[in-house]
Amino acid sequence: MSKVVTFGEIMLRLSTERHLRFSQAKTFAASYGGGEFNVAVSLANYGIPVEFITRLPENEIGACALKEMRKFKVESANVIFGGDRLGIYYFETGAGTRSSNVVYDRAHSSMATIEKGSIDWESVFKDVSWFHWSGITPAISESAAEVCLEAVKVAHAMGITISSDLNYRSKLWQYGKEPNQVMPKLLQNSNIILGDIDTAFFMLGQDKVNPNYQNETSLPVLYDKLYKLCPNLQIVATTLRYSVSASHQRIGGVLYDGKTLFSADVKEVTPVVDRVGSGDAFMGGLIYGILSDNYDKQKALNLAVAACCLKHTISGDCNLITLEEIEKLLKGDAFGEVSR
Amino acid sequence: MSKVVTFGEIMLRLSTERHLRFSQAKTFAASYGGGEFNVAVSLANYGIPVEFITRLPENEIGACALKEMRKFKVESANVIFGGDRLGIYYFETGAGTRSSNVVYDRAHSSMATIEKGSIDWESVFKDVSWFHWSGITPAISESAAEVCLEAVKVAHAMGITISSDLNYRSKLWQYGKEPNQVMPKLLQNSNIILGDIDTAFFMLGQDKVNPNYQNETSLPVLYDKLYKLCPNLQIVATTLRYSVSASHQRIGGVLYDGKTLFSADVKEVTPVVDRVGSGDAFMGGLIYGILSDNYDKQKALNLAVAACCLKHTISGDCNLITLEEIEKLLKGDAFGEVSR
Amino acid sequence: MSKVVTFGEIMLRLSTERHLRFSQAKTFAASYGGGEFNVAVSLANYGIPVEFITRLPENEIGACALKEMRKFKVESANVIFGGDRLGIYYFETGAGTRSSNVVYDRAHSSMATIEKGSIDWESVFKDVSWFHWSGITPAISESAAEVCLEAVKVAHAMGITISSDLNYRSKLWQYGKEPNQVMPKLLQNSNIILGDIDTAFFMLGQDKVNPNYQNETSLPVLYDKLYKLCPNLQIVATTLRYSVSASHQRIGGVLYDGKTLFSADVKEVTPVVDRVGSGDAFMGGLIYGILSDNYDKQKALNLAVAACCLKHTISGDCNLITLEEIEKLLKGDAFGEVSR
Amino acid sequence: MSKVVTFGEIMLRLSTERHLRFSQAKTFAASYGGGEFNVAVSLANYGIPVEFITRLPENEIGACALKEMRKFKVESANVIFGGDRLGIYYFETGAGTRSSNVVYDRAHSSMATIEKGSIDWESVFKDVSWFHWSGITPAISESAAEVCLEAVKVAHAMGITISSDLNYRSKLWQYGKEPNQVMPKLLQNSNIILGDIDTAFFMLGQDKVNPNYQNETSLPVLYDKLYKLCPNLQIVATTLRYSVSASHQRIGGVLYDGKTLFSADVKEVTPVVDRVGSGDAFMGGLIYGILSDNYDKQKALNLAVAACCLKHTISGDCNLITLEEIEKLLKGDAFGEVSR
Amino acid sequence: MSKVVTFGEIMLRLSTERHLRFSQAKTFAASYGGGEFNVAVSLANYGIPVEFITRLPENEIGACALKEMRKFKVESANVIFGGDRLGIYYFETGAGTRSSNVVYDRAHSSMATIEKGSIDWESVFKDVSWFHWSGITPAISESAAEVCLEAVKVAHAMGITISSDLNYRSKLWQYGKEPNQVMPKLLQNSNIILGDIDTAFFMLGQDKVNPNYQNETSLPVLYDKLYKLCPNLQIVATTLRYSVSASHQRIGGVLYDGKTLFSADVKEVTPVVDRVGSGDAFMGGLIYGILSDNYDKQKALNLAVAACCLKHTISGDCNLITLEEIEKLLKGDAFGEVSR
Amino acid sequence: MSKVVTFGEIMLRLSTERHLRFSQAKTFAASYGGGEFNVAVSLANYGIPVEFITRLPENEIGACALKEMRKFKVESANVIFGGDRLGIYYFETGAGTRSSNVVYDRAHSSMATIEKGSIDWESVFKDVSWFHWSGITPAISESAAEVCLEAVKVAHAMGITISSDLNYRSKLWQYGKEPNQVMPKLLQNSNIILGDIDTAFFMLGQDKVNPNYQNETSLPVLYDKLYKLCPNLQIVATTLRYSVSASHQRIGGVLYDGKTLFSADVKEVTPVVDRVGSGDAFMGGLIYGILSDNYDKQKALNLAVAACCLKHTISGDCNLITLEEIEKLLKGDAFGEVSR
């Protein structure tokens, strides 16, 4: 199978354990994650060669992030080094009526201060068939947005499939530009877009969609508008998430290929062990599904939804799930049974 | 805002973690709590100046309790010292069909051996507008009941609003007196009473209420009887708790002001991280609601119910929840979302 | 009460905590368990004299298993020593859509290499009224199966009641024999059999039952066939388990005595703290129910189902539940309440 | 080997970990210990049948203490139940220049409120050859002292060897009597006394010994005086402890039999993992040495000193050391080597 | 006693536990510390009213730092809020031949971006008798240096005693200025300076001292030069530290008052639990010694050295030691003994 | 730099924490190690391309070992899969007079059941300049010894430098052959041998050396004999270890090249955090020293000794130390200082 490259920031995640609030914690669980890295780990778990591009500080904390990449078989040969610090996010796991809480401390990170021209994308993309980026990278700093644009242009020129997760984070976009000033250029070359139509239109500077859009008749119409705005678009997909509580989610998904709207059954997700990275798990499942030999859009969507559901049972950002477990869930085997 | 004073016992709480039984535990999580202290922490979290009065042993364990008060901005200038020990309660968190279990080890505590006249209540209550006590204090020892009565009398004489949580604990009341010998005098001066009507009548020596009382027509009639027994009563309120399992509760509440019966919608609470102190969270929310500028009984009740629900998601006795989180829940915003 | 003897393997269980995957774990929780040992612990908790027979390695890890037996008041005077190692199983607790996972590492254990004739069953069974074994022991090795057969024969000859849990484990039975070559002889002398009819027929070399068997009319017919195959059979019982997810089970049970089919109400079990050993908890409850003075088949079945439900709330293999807790659940008392 | 009985209090020990101060601890390590119980565990580890007599509360915490006894093969058939609580001591492990710190919370314990006549000593001492008690029991309450005296009298009358560890604790003896009012009667019947001569004289109401006593010439003279005060005395022994710091001790010992003064080489003990119970480990070693077939006073003393040294490497009160490890240390084998 | 004010940065400290390297850690112990805050905690522990001035981010992590101040009775009324983040330092505890390692992540912290004029020093210093700052604050950013200079000028003008710990950190001073461009102005008004003569001369732009300076004859000559450079200087003191290994230090100290050179005995410090903050503990002891009624320079120095030694036994930055423990060490009482 | 290959077994190590005995542990720390893997990690840390060859079971526990290899940048492309289980060793860290204790549970591991011919050594050794094996592999099973011999023969034929650590483990060699029946053939082709002369002669079937051999005059004579027995031998080296206690070691080393005996200064190692793998750390340092451009035997020996010392400060088998830290120690810089 040919290689996938993802590009973005990997952060140190400092989580309280057992639903503790920050003020109760004497220890933080330390793990490493970030949207595009999480996608890479998913793919590595499914046996796809995958490389992650980022910028790390030259200190022991950066070295820990690098070790984590290697541990999960994500290639790191083109990681660049420099800058002051590894970005951090603090995480408090909610429960029931209490939402989970993220405190970002990622400003001034090595990735945020990456410089234009510092990555040789032609070299990175040799023997690569797929490039994935998300809306987080252009949100962290102007230079990160610029490097992302460099990547997208080179990938497109080299005929590489490009996937983009819109991933809007309201706490980012602090450097003076609005998403609609930055994202349209970036999304021009996307072949696969993950995200809800509202976010897509917002990032592309379109008017907000009427809230009643989410029905099977009107969605294709709206998506068709998106296809016009993004001329290379082949597939648009989105998770459908119904949040009963912080501990109980219902997860479905839709996929549109310009002609047909596919949709997947909604699954109950309870309890939620950790929902961070569940969108990345969907993305990983979707890429795998599309890349696999027996490509079938409905199957790819089902796989993406199942991967997303299973991610909610895993601590940390990364979806440490095997293909076998996804298939078991899809087959509807009594999944509460102990395997022994 | 003028100051609130609460009076009672603070204990060391020794909890097993992750649903372990006592016999499985090699460590106990150590925290500090007690009904009236828990109310003080709620109020401090909401920005209200609050002081806690208690008696602590002059040893390192007492010092830990004192540090906990300060940490949560509960004033401690009038804490008195003496006696042998800090009371303890051991706690095992249940799950599903297994109830949580409390083993009290609070006899002979410094608070239980507090002596009449040892607190200068006139001085304590200077610049104070509200005094809160609960039925736990008169339950632990005769002298504690007497000091509580001193406090109530002085507070009443000084025109301070008095709130009382009935808080009946069958494992206490071991010193030879029955609640109905002690509580009527104490409740004489209460302006706000928290507790179900059954407990209220039991503590006031009245006959048990017919179990069908809990309807919106009959409750005011029963409450009116309570108003006659407690001539200073302005508001009576109670949590309505439906226990599906140790991990799933349904929480509502009612409030009566002598004329109108207000009721709050029932909320689903699942999973239960820790339900100890959820009644105190209700009380804290109610006091805050009544004290706030835009006082509205329905809003105060809603706030109390929301605070009570959110407490179930917090480990330990104290309701470490912000006003913003309560308001988010009340507004019905999709609370399962991660804030990022 | 006269003594019960159980015979089987006790293993070191290495579990990840808080739903971590093996690859995330830096520590494993260490506990000790195994089907027949778990039954012994249940009985000891209910006050019944009980002894466990096994073979342990003469090293510090075997000594830990022995200390665990003693801790829970399971007699160990006839444990024999020898062989290389204590069997291990690694355990990962699932959640929601992710199943729990067992990795066995029990081959070549001291119990698997037990030798024929190494236990003096006549001496072991002196003053014993009940012998319990399960289908795990004949599944681990040929010699373990042989020693089990020795035990069954001696027990039968001495007039001891024999109970058998079929306990089929597909990952075992690796030594070259099929269950139907081994189990029929063993089950000949069983008075009580625990297991579903499908497993029973499979182990006895009968054709698979039509899936529609589980109704109240057809079950007795099928069971009657079992009575013919096992001439000493008095009672056959089984847990009825409906697996909603790894975190949510529904548990009922049926018991047949050759004439009447008893069934117990289905109970909701959520969340599942740990379901390993819940069948053993059912078995333990059933034995206790049958042994108790006021023996009543419906009560024994209800008790077995309640014990099984409560086990799901306990970490580790062993059902650390008291009779009082079982009775509280059976009485339907509001079990979510905190006892204080 | 015939049985040893020890009598005293077992407490819950709540320790901070990794040298944390109480105010830093969010968890306490929970273990169970007490001078006379610790001696029993030592003896059980050496293969001697041993029983511990105490009084426990009838609650889950008392049940934990009982499970600990059983785990370490200390018989518990004559434990009695009643009273309010299991005594507690809080423990902070020192390091270097900072001493370890004990906060007692053992007043009003079940053992402190034991009642005269509540133990049938004649029955307890059947088939028993040795009885051990220590100066802690008469220090906790008057009734405990009285029950201890009952035990001593019965034991003496039945011809049982009696050993006594003086174990003076200045934080105890709070019930209105001085050691010299209580201990002389108790020590009358002692055959073996463990303790330094200063403590012995203090407890027997004698003048303080001149600090220069500790030389090999004068000690026998002082000990001879002790023999006169305790007419049944056969052996007096003491640990010699030189405290370099909380992390570094030097341990030696002397033993006198009325004729000869034996002394053991001083050993370096560093680091100190936990020194609580090291005197009990000495006592356990001494009893074992005297009881063993090839009784030799010098060997018994050496064994006691080695056991004491090794105890300093074990967390918790109990000396979890094997005879093989003691012998290895005594043989002077390179003990820093990893055994593999 | 009149109040002390200290000014500086408080950071989140993320430490690996049990000597783990960063790459081995799955959890970081979270605590809060910083040179000047640590001094404040020491003083609060000794009963001196003390306030800490800093700038915190308005997020939950800043709130944790604030709670830590309150917990240890350090006043926080004049803390200001703003900026992006709480500074962090990662810490790996060394052992033996392996040094401890600090990775700073404190750039861009709220304290580093403090703005000139943002603190009303006249108001802060009302009723204050002592102001303490250290060389860390002017090292983190130009604006922090400027605010420090504002404080020093106001304090001097108001007649407040000023103490300064030179605290040179080579990993700081990254903003373009050298210590000798910044420190001379700041040290002009210092009455007490803590630091070695080498660092003092380096910061004041003097030539390096000949390495042989550390003898009792030449030191006063060098110090006299310092007195000329700092016209308000009354006392200069320094810890003398001999580093045997990361686990073994030898600590002494000298104090000069312009006339007499006092020196304290060197103490052995082994093992080292945590040496961060031991200089701050010296400073805290020195301030306490000078402030105490019976002021005696030798006693103040001894106290400072003892406090410094004891700090090495405490985890975290803050010296959680009582005056009683310091005095016990100074009296030379057998400090390895368990207090019970 | 050209690649090094090491071959051997990697095990799951289950360690008790904080000096706990096995019977006290409720959790085991899980890590992965083994002599030849440990050498590989050292080399990877020093920047040398290195690959580890082993056989792993195809289960999740084998997958964890593989992830650990990758994490530390040890290549794993030629690892083979099969067999039943990952070998285990249980580890209890000693302290002071108590030795550390290893309980092996590695029989029947995937590596022990490796089959002759299952590794294509010609392919493995392409572009490889160094092959390292140790005496553990031929000790675990006959087939492992045979595969080791295959490797040695191919490596020798391909002109690869071969290093061998004698690593005698008395608890292994259980399969019916003595070291002197197996090792001579294996050592024939060794260029570098690590081990003391006693072990070397024992493994080569020579008479035991007189204990007085360890002086600088006689050692070369003995070594010369070794050169005769191993015709390809170029360098023989050994750690000199003086074990003061489990917590205090003194480490030196000697190296002989057939002409000159080099020796390194003895260093104090205290405390010992974990000594397992310290010999492997010596080996790793030695290989690095010899491979480095500026090869100098004295420097290589010094580096090996320093690496060995530093390993004692690291938890787990692997020497997670950088070249910078080794050089800092060699330069004699004050290594107790905190780097900040």
Three-class secondary structure assignment of chain A? CCEEEEECCCEEEEECCCCCCHHHCCEEEEEEECHHHHHHHHHHHCCCCEEEECEECCCHHHHHHHHHHHHCCCECCCCEECCCCCCEEEEECCECCECCEEEEECCCCCCCCCCCCCCCHHHHCCCEEEEEEECCHHHHCHHHHHHHHHHHHHHHHCCCEEEEECCCCCCCCCCCCCHHHHHHHHHCCCCEEECCHHHHHHHCCCCCCCHHHCCCCHHHHHHHHHHHHCCCCCEEEEEEEEEEECCEEEEEEEEECCCCEEEEEEEEECCCCCCCCHHHHHHHHHHHHHHCCCCCHHHHHHHHHHHHHHHCCCCCCCCCCCHHHHHHHHHCCCCCCCEC
Across residues D200-208, what is the average pLDDT?
Answer: 93
Nearest CA-CA partner of F317 in F98, F82, F52, F4: F52
Instruction: Categorise residue C180: left if φ over 0, alpha if ψ from -120 to 50, beta otherwise.
Output: alpha
Nearest CA-CA partner of D139 in D184, D172, D102, D105: D172
* F73 chain-A contacts, CB cut-off 8 A: 70
The per-residue pLDDT for C85 is 97
Sheet hosting strand E235-245, strand order edge to edge = E50-53, E3-7, E128-134, E161-165, E192-194, E235-245, E248-256, E261-269
Q: pLDDT of C282-295, one tens digit each? A: 999 999 999 998 88
- Collapsed DSSP state (helix, strand, coil) of residue F4: strand
Q: Report how far apart, in Å, the C-alpha atoms of A34 and of each of A20, A38, C210, E139, F295 are.
A: 22, 6, 51, 33, 43
A-E Cβ pairs (cutoff 8 Å, strict): 73
Task: Spell out the residues 6+ positions from residue A91 whose beta carbon is closer than 8 angstroms to its own.
Answer: A13, A14, A15, A16, A100, A101, A102, A103, A276
**Does the pLDDT value for residue E215 go beyond 90?**
no
* B321 chain-A contacts, CB cut-off 8 A: 98
The per-residue pLDDT for D242 is 93
Where does the pLDDT of residue E243 fall: very low under 50, low under 70, confident under 90, or very high at 90 and above?
very high
Where does the pLDDT of residue F206 fall: very low under 50, low under 70, confident under 90, or very high at 90 and above?
very high
The per-residue pLDDT for C294 is 82
Q: Report how far apart, in Å, the C-alpha atoms of D171 and of each of D15, E99, E335, E338 are.
A: 18, 41, 17, 12
Residue C112: inside a domain = yes
Nearest CA-CA partner of D278 in F33, E336, A121: E336
Residue C304: inside a domain = yes
Q: pLDDT of D4-21, one tens digit each? A: 999 999 999 999 999 999
* Residue A325 in tokens: 């477990």
Q: Helices (DSSP H) in F13-166: which residue ranges?
A: 35-45, 60-71, 121-124, 137-140, 142-157
The per-residue pLDDT for B77 is 97
The per-residue pLDDT for D2 is 86
* D335 chain-F contacts, CB cut-off 8 A: 97-99, 243, 245-246
**Neighbouring chains of C at 3+ CB pairs within 8 Å?**
A, B, D, E, F
Report which of residues A205 and D295 the model is more confident about: A205
Q: pLDDT of F99-119, one tens digit each? A: 999 999 999 999 999 999 999
The answer to which of A130-144, C67-81, C213-227, E119-133 has the lowest mean pLDDT is: C213-227
Of E271, E272, E337, the CB nearest to D99: E337
Range list of β-strands (E), C46-86: 50-53, 55-56, 80-81
Place of tokens 């133990």: D119
Q: Judging by beta carbons within 10 Å of its beta carbon (0-12, 13-18, 19+), is residue D204 exposed, middle or buried? A: middle
**Neighbouring chains of A at 3+ CB pairs within 8 Å?**
B, C, D, E, F
Place of tokens 């609130």: B4
Contact call for residues F92 and F16 (beta carbons, < 8 A): yes
Q: Mutation test of the interface with chain F: which of A31, A58, A71, A323, choosing the one with the most F Cβ atoms within 10 A? A: A71
Q: Is there a contact between B270 and A245 if contact means CB atoms under 8 Å apart?
A: yes
Q: F20 is in which domain, residue-wise?
A: 4-330
Where does the pLDDT of residue D295 fall: very low under 50, low under 70, confident under 90, or very high at 90 and above?
confident
Residue B292: inside a domain = yes
Residue E323 CA from chain centroid, whole number: 18
Q: Report how far apart, in Å, the C-alpha atoms of E111 and of each of A90, A174, C54, D150, E59 are.
A: 20, 20, 65, 70, 14
Q: Is there a contact between C268 and B276 if contact means CB atoms under 8 Å apart?
A: no
How far apart are alpha carbons D114 and A325 in whole angstroms? 60
**Which parts of chain A have pLDDT scores under 70?**
1, 211-214, 333-336
The per-residue pLDDT for A335 is 62
**Does the pLDDT value for residue E213 go beyond 60?**
no
Contact call for residues D90 and B14 (beta carbons, < 8 A): no
Q: Is there a contact between C61 and F107 if contact means CB atoms under 8 Å apart?
A: no
Nearest-10 crossing angle of helices A323-331, A297-311: 110
Q: Is there a contact between C171 and A17 if contact means CB atoms under 8 Å apart?
A: no
Residue D338: inside a domain = no
For chain D, give the percent of residues with pLDDT over 70. 97
Q: Tell me the backbone φ, ψ of residue C249, rounded to 5 degrees.
A: -125, 155
Q: Mutation test of the interface with chain C: which of A251, A267, A272, A313, choosing the one with the most C Cβ atoms within 10 A? A: A313
Interface predicted TM-score (ipTM) over 0.85: yes
Where does the pLDDT of residue C230 fall: very low under 50, low under 70, confident under 90, or very high at 90 and above?
very high
Task: Spell out the residues 6+ positions from residue B120 whose beta carbon is closer than 8 angstroms to its own.
Answer: B78
- Overall pTM > 0.90: yes
Q: Which amino acid type is present at position F329?
A: L
Place of tokens 């226990």: B243
Residue E340: inside a domain = no
Half-sphere exposure of D104 (CA within 13 A, CB side): 19
Where does the pLDDT of residue F332 fall: very low under 50, low under 70, confident under 90, or very high at 90 and above?
confident
How far apart are alpha carbons E53 and D186 in whole angstroms? 62
From the CA of C61, how many Å to the nearest CA of chain E?
Answer: 25
For chain F, give the percent of residues with pLDDT over 90. 91
The per-residue pLDDT for D293 is 81
Residue F337 CA from chain centroid, whole number: 30
Beta carbons within 10 angstroms of residue B231's beta carbon? 9
The per-residue pLDDT for D84 is 94
**Does the pLDDT value for residue F294 go beyond 90?**
no
Average pLDDT, chain C: 95
The per-residue pLDDT for D219 is 87
Closest-CA residue of F relative to B27 is F26
How far apart are alpha carbons F116 and F151 in whole angstroms? 10
Where does the pLDDT of residue F293 fall: very low under 50, low under 70, confident under 90, or very high at 90 and above?
confident
Residue F338: inside a domain = no
Q: pLDDT of F127-154, one tens digit each? A: 999 999 999 999 999 999 999 999 999 9
**Does the pLDDT value for residue C11 go beyond 70?**
yes
**Does the pLDDT value for residue C336 go beyond 80?**
no
User: The CATH number of the domain where F105 resides is what?
Assistant: 3.40.1190.20
**Does the pLDDT value for residue D279 go beyond 60?**
yes
**Does the pLDDT value for residue E120 go beyond 90?**
yes
Across residues E10-23, what is the average pLDDT?
Answer: 97
Q: Is there a contact between D329 and F243 if contact means CB atoms under 8 Å apart?
A: no
Q: Mutation test of the interface with chain F: which of B26, B27, B28, choosing the one with the most F Cβ atoms within 10 A? A: B26
Nearest CA-CA partner of D131 in D229, D27, D2: D2
The per-residue pLDDT for F236 is 97
Residue E221: inside a domain = yes
Q: Which amino acid type is present at position E216?
A: E
Place of tokens 């700092």: E230
Q: pLDDT of E150-200, one tens digit each? A: 999 999 999 999 999 999 998 899 999 999 999 999 999 999 999 999 999
Where does the pLDDT of residue C112 fall: very low under 50, low under 70, confident under 90, or very high at 90 and above?
very high
Q: Judging by beta carbons within 10 Å of its beta carbon (0-12, 13-18, 19+), is residue C323 exposed, middle or buried? A: middle
Average pLDDT, chain F: 95
Q: Which amino acid type is present at position F127?
A: D
The per-residue pLDDT for E295 is 86
How far apart are alpha carbons D80 and D91 in whole angstroms? 27
How far apart are alpha carbons C193 and C230 in whole angstroms? 10
Residue D166 CA from chain centroid, whole number: 8
Across residues C227-252, what is the average pLDDT?
Answer: 96
How far apart are alpha carbons C318 and C34 in whole angstroms? 8
The per-residue pLDDT for F334 is 54
In chain B (340 residues long), the average pLDDT of successive 10-residue segments reads 93 96 97 98 98 98 98 98 97 96 96 98 98 98 98 98 96 95 97 95 89 73 94 96 95 96 96 97 98 92 98 98 96 71
Q: Report how far apart, in Å, the C-alpha atoms of F135 and of each of E34, F1, F141, F164, F197 are.
A: 51, 27, 11, 7, 14
Q: How many domains does chain C have?
A: 1
Closest-CA residue of E relative to B75 is E70
The per-residue pLDDT for D273 is 97
Q: Which amino acid type is present at position C273?
A: V
How far apart are alpha carbons D121 and D131 in whole angstroms? 11
Where does the pLDDT of residue E333 fall: very low under 50, low under 70, confident under 90, or very high at 90 and above?
low
Contact call for residues B159 and B128 (beta carbons, < 8 A): no
Report strand pairing: C192-194 vs E192-194.
unpaired
Residue E259: inside a domain = yes
Range list of β-strands (E), D136-269: 161-165, 192-194, 235-245, 248-256, 261-269
Where does the pLDDT of residue E293 fall: very low under 50, low under 70, confident under 90, or very high at 90 and above?
confident
- Cis check: omega of the bond before D271, within 30 degrees of 0: yes
**Does the pLDDT value for residue F329 go beyond 90?**
yes
